[in-house]
Homo-oligomer: A and B are copies of this chain.
């Protein structure tokens, strides 16, 4: 079994440029800077996104995000700041998708490492007003445009309600 990159980070076992840490959270510059000041905010515990959102660590993570966001504003002075994270990765991204790995990498798609790793990590990415880091995801192109939003919403709503009922039973 492979090690978890983010557990290693939290333990201080990797070379990394830390910008903030407290008892629950560590934040450091992403090794691959997609923009100057690109930071990863990571819970020390090995929590998935869904686990994090339901745990006591969630508020600590949000507090860290606010602090680092203000710190980036003060130090890097970007025109804007965006955040992004994988809630859960695409399974089998590289298998049978008919898309060459090099193509996906060129598109900036999720890497294998991220896809395998369940340890939540939130990206804070400074933006410049030239727009080069303004894209959060593609609009248009290959995207489905459902005519029946109400129908889709009904399916999702029913499923969310089932989740809420399940929480109450537990």
Contacts and interface: CB of A to CB of B under 8 A. Distances in A.
Nearest to A64: B53
Interface string A96-131: 011100011001111000010000000111011111
B82 A109 contact: no
B144 A35 contact: yes
Interface in A26-65: 27-29, 32-37, 39, 49-50, 52-54, 58-59, 62-63, 65
Contacts of A69: 49-50, 53, 87-88
Contacts of A130: 97-99, 142
When all copies of this chain in the complex are counted, the total is: 2
Interface residues of A, number: 99
Contacts of A167: 67
A79 to B, nearest CB: 4
B66 A53 contact: yes
B39 A137 contact: no
The 6 A-B residue pairs whose C-beta atoms are closest, nearest first, are A17-B153, A71-B160, A80-B90, A53-B66, A109-B134, A75-B159
